[in-house]
Amino acid sequence: MDKTVREVKQRSWMKWLWGNMQGHRVLYVTAIIMTIVYNIMQLIVPYYSGRIVTLFEEAGAKGTPLTDNLDEFILNLSLMIGLTLVRITIVYFTCMAYEYVSQHALYKIRNFLFDKIEHQDMNFYNEYRTGDLMTRLTGDLDAVRHNVAWVIKSVVDSFSLFIATAVYFFIMDWLLALCVLSITPLLFLVILRFKKASAQKHRILRDKLSNLNTDAQENISGNRVVKAFAREEYEKDKFNRSNTDYAEANMDTQRTWLRYFPVIETFANLLPVILLLAGGLFIINGRIGIGEYVSFSMLIWAIANPMRMLGNIMNEFQRFAAASKKVMEIYNSQAGIVSKENAIKHPDRFKGLIEFDHVSFGYEGGAVPVLRDISMKIEPGQTVAIIGETGCGKTSLIHMIPRFYDPAEGEVRIDGINVSDYELTDLRHNIGLATQDVLLYSDTIEGNIAYGDSSLSQDEVVKYARYSAAQEFIDKMPDGYETIVGERGVGLSGGQKQRISLARALAIKPSILILDDTTSAVDMETEKHIRDSLNELDFNCTKIIIAQRISTTKYCDKIFVMGDGRIIEEGTHKELCMKGGYYANLVELQTGLELKDGVLKDSVNMTAQLAGKGVN
């Protein structure tokens, strides 16, 4: 059973690599054939050296001068030199071919892998850490390249040289060949044991490297938190632990190799000794001549070196095996959320009718229930607000619309069609989302605003910046719209980042605009400006606004109040104030006033306060 599994695995990595060599397969196979050819040609020098020595020997025995056989001597010498030059040329070109094919395969796999990662769903990003994915795209892929360029070549090298030499030995003298090769089965046993021992070590080593990269990546991207808490020393210690772990795993892997290396080396060094003993005996009893002995002894390295190399190759192969498993895992992974085969194409704008029909959802396959039987209807062009305590599921709810997640039960429909029936890119192109956690790219402000539509003119970029009340602060920046904002928008305030993110969402002229707490960090005046702009957009758009402030929600056509994954109240601001439920409490809490019959208690002081808070 175990054997079958292993065989399938072996075949699958070969098939996988072979698939990625498309376009270069002929070159690769030619390189392998030429590797075999030049290894057979390694026998040339010892063969002709043997012939020349035999010539001397025969001349010596007959007592004739060597000049009698000068032509043969020169011919042998010329062939020896000429064919060696041919062999060197072949070696040069095969090395180039291996490198060329491996680089192309690497390029292809890396692009494919990146594409795979790009099209994964949210569950994938929850599962894999950035540092681990980076390790797969860099270190692991390099191990794959190394396998194509070096490991496979070395296997062909070693085996072809070993087999060619062994055959040649048998042709020269089968008994001496048998004596010399008698220890090879033992060596193969040792190599097999080493393979087993090193596989596990390489898997551990690879995981430690991934941990190290993840620690470094998280630390660097979270540098501001580290500084804020003055936790540099703590982080240094944490990194040091990962680094030590990695170093120890490296040492452990090397120690495994060092345990087997002396055994392999001893076997390899035994070969000349056996040759000396057996060969010497055979010369004495006349079984072989000096010329044959010379050929044997000049070629003994061609048996010993492949034996030595095999350990090293196995070590590198195990590194490849551990890395390729990680690469192939991503390579063969399938995103859970993709367009259906017969998905509905919808390049045009949606009307904007959004319906949630008894939607339930939980993270981690339902283990963490978040949305419970949600039903709601948002008419085209409406502006609705979603409000509710933190962690009640607001973000999770709106993530169902662009299909970041699919509901476990029920369905979400846009214009009467289940969102999962639409072509995914058409669906998402129609939705402008300003996420709660703003991420800006290391690009100019203009580049960030035009992220969803690179064809946007500069005037349009300015227009959307104006809509989102960002124009003023951008104009004040030294390079205006050309200002580069750093990773995660370093150099901008929270409210400024939110406004750029809003402009970015508006710039694609979405038919559905979703703002997830987008104005939480802006002042009241800016918020009012944004609210007015959203009412004056020059395209039709259904708007869903998640907010915590009553000042944002009160002007909406409808308000959905969420609590513990359910819609607990819905209606207009007035209706909800009348209801005297969660929303009404919130109004009182945020204004510091009391509601009576849906109206805030009137008094001179209170009116003044309300005017100040923008609530009445």
Residues near ligand DGT (CB under 6 A): 126, 363-364, 368, 370, 388, 390-396, 436
> Of these partners, ligand DGT, Mg ion, none, which one is at the site of residue 342 (CB under 5 to 8 Å by kind)?
none
> Of these partners, ligand DGT, Mg ion, none, which one is at the site of residue 495 (CB under 5 to 8 Å by kind)?
none
Comparison of 378 and 456: residue with beta carbon closer to ligand DGT: 378
Q: Supply the minimum distance, in Å, between the C-beta of residue 359 and ligand DGT.
A: 13
Comparison of 253 and 518: residue with beta carbon closer to ligand DGT: 518
Q: Supply the minimum distance, in Å, between the C-beta of residue 400 and ligand DGT.
A: 10
Nearest one of 300, 306, 307 to 189, comparing CA atoms? 307
Q: Supply the minimum distance, in Å, between the C-beta of residue 126 and ligand DGT.
A: 5
CA distance 304 to 296: 12
- Among the residue ranges 25-33, 345-353, 389-397, 505-513, the one whose residues contact Mg ion (CB under 5 A): 389-397
Q: What share of the chain is helix, strand, coil (3-state, %, to 5)?
A: 65, 10, 25
Comparison of 158 and 519: residue with beta carbon closer to ligand DGT: 519
CA distance 606 to 544: 31
Q: Is 543 helix (H, G, I), strand (E, B) or coil?
A: strand
Q: Mark 279-293 as b/e (b = at least 16 C-beta within 10 Å).
A: beebeeeeebbebbb
Q: What is the CA radius of gyration of the chain?
A: 37
Q: Which residues, 6 or more positions from 537, have their beta carbon under 8 angstroms from its beta carbon?
A: 467, 506
Q: How far is CA 445 from CA 260, 448, 474, 492, in A?
A: 59, 5, 8, 11
Q: Does 395 bind Mg ion (CB under 5 A)?
A: yes
CA distance 386 to 570: 9
> Of these partners, Mg ion, ligand DGT, none, which one is at the site of residue 393 (CB under 5 to 8 Å by kind)?
ligand DGT
- Among the residue ranges 67-75, 96-104, 148-156, 387-395, the one whose residues contact Mg ion (CB under 5 A): 387-395
Q: Does 498 bind Mg ion (CB under 5 A)?
A: no
Give the strand pairing for 558-563 and 542-546: unpaired
Comparison of 105 and 562: residue with beta carbon closer to ligand DGT: 562
Nearest one of 531, 494, 527 to 513, comparing CA atoms? 531
Sign of torsion, CA 358 363 367 371?
A: negative
Nearest one of 446, 440, 434 to 474, comparing CA atoms? 446
Q: Supply the minimum distance, in Å, between the C-beta of residue 125 and ligand DGT.
A: 9
> Of these partners, Mg ion, ligand DGT, none, which one is at the site of residue 364 (CB under 5 to 8 Å by kind)?
ligand DGT
Q: Supply the minimum distance, in Å, between the C-beta of residue 387 and ligand DGT.
A: 9
CA distance 406 to 395: 14
> Of these partners, Mg ion, ligand DGT, none, which one is at the site of residue 473 (CB under 5 to 8 Å by kind)?
none
Comparison of 42 and 214: residue with beta carbon closer to ligand DGT: 214
> Of these partners, Mg ion, ligand DGT, none, which one is at the site of residue 363 (CB under 5 to 8 Å by kind)?
ligand DGT
> Of these partners, ligand DGT, Mg ion, none, which one is at the site of residue 396 (CB under 5 to 8 Å by kind)?
ligand DGT
Q: Which residues, 6 or more positions from 288, have their beta carbon under 8 angstroms from its beta carbon?
A: 172, 173, 176, 279, 282, 296
Q: Supply the minimum distance, in Å, between the C-beta of residue 491 and Mg ion.
A: 25
Comparison of 208 and 394: residue with beta carbon closer to Mg ion: 394
Q: Tell the residue number behind the tokens 């001597």, with chain if given.
A: 73
Q: Does 519 bind Mg ion (CB under 5 A)?
A: no
Q: Which of residues 407-446 bind Mg ion (CB under 5 A)?
A: 436
Comparison of 23 and 391: residue with beta carbon closer to ligand DGT: 391
Comparison of 394 and 504: residue with beta carbon closer to ligand DGT: 394
Comparison of 83 and 122: residue with beta carbon closer to ligand DGT: 122
Indicate the residue whose CB is closest to Mg ion. 395
Q: Supply the minimum distance, in Å, between the C-beta of residue 127 and ligand DGT.
A: 10
- Among the residue ranges 17-25, 390-398, 447-455, 522-530, the one whose residues contact Mg ion (CB under 5 A): 390-398
Give the type of residue at 185: P
Comparison of 395 and 526: residue with beta carbon closer to Mg ion: 395
Q: Supply the minimum distance, in Å, between the C-beta of residue 569 and ligand DGT.
A: 15
DSSP classification of residue 501: H
Comparison of 486 and 494: residue with beta carbon closer to ligand DGT: 494
Q: Supply the minimum distance, in Å, between the C-beta of residue 399 and ligand DGT.
A: 8
Q: Supply the minimum distance, in Å, between the C-beta of residue 159 and ligand DGT.
A: 51
Which contiguous run of DSSP H or E holds residue 608? helix 604-613
Q: Which residues, 6 or more positions from 342, have their beta carbon under 8 angstroms from its beta carbon?
A: none
Q: How far is CA 398 from CA 258, 368, 380, in A?
A: 57, 17, 16
DSSP classification of residue 523: -
Asked if 141 contacts 109 with a C-beta cutoff of 8 angstroms, the reply is: yes
Q: Is 495 helix (H, G, I), strand (E, B) or coil?
A: helix
Comparison of 354 and 398: residue with beta carbon closer to ligand DGT: 398
- Among the residue ranges 98-106, 395-403, 493-501, 572-580, the one whose residues contact Mg ion (CB under 5 A): 395-403
Q: Supply the minimum distance, in Å, between the C-beta of residue 355 and ligand DGT.
A: 20
Q: Supply the minimum distance, in Å, between the C-beta of residue 437 and ligand DGT.
A: 9
Q: Supply the minimum distance, in Å, between the C-beta of residue 403 and ligand DGT.
A: 15
Give the strand pairing for 383-388 and 542-546: parallel
> Of these partners, ligand DGT, Mg ion, none, which one is at the site of residue 519 (CB under 5 to 8 Å by kind)?
none
Comparison of 293 and 404: residue with beta carbon closer to Mg ion: 404
State the helix-helix crossing angle for 70-118 and 44-62, rounded to 10 degrees: 170
Q: Supply the minimum distance, in Å, between the C-beta of residue 128 and Mg ion.
A: 22
Comparison of 30 and 126: residue with beta carbon closer to ligand DGT: 126
Asked if 431 contacts 509 with a C-beta cutoff of 8 angstroms, the reply is: no
Q: Kindly report the CA angle at 230 between 228 and 235, in degrees rounded to 5?
A: 110
| Extended beta strands in 33-142, E state | none
Binding site for Mg ion (CB under 5 A): 395, 436
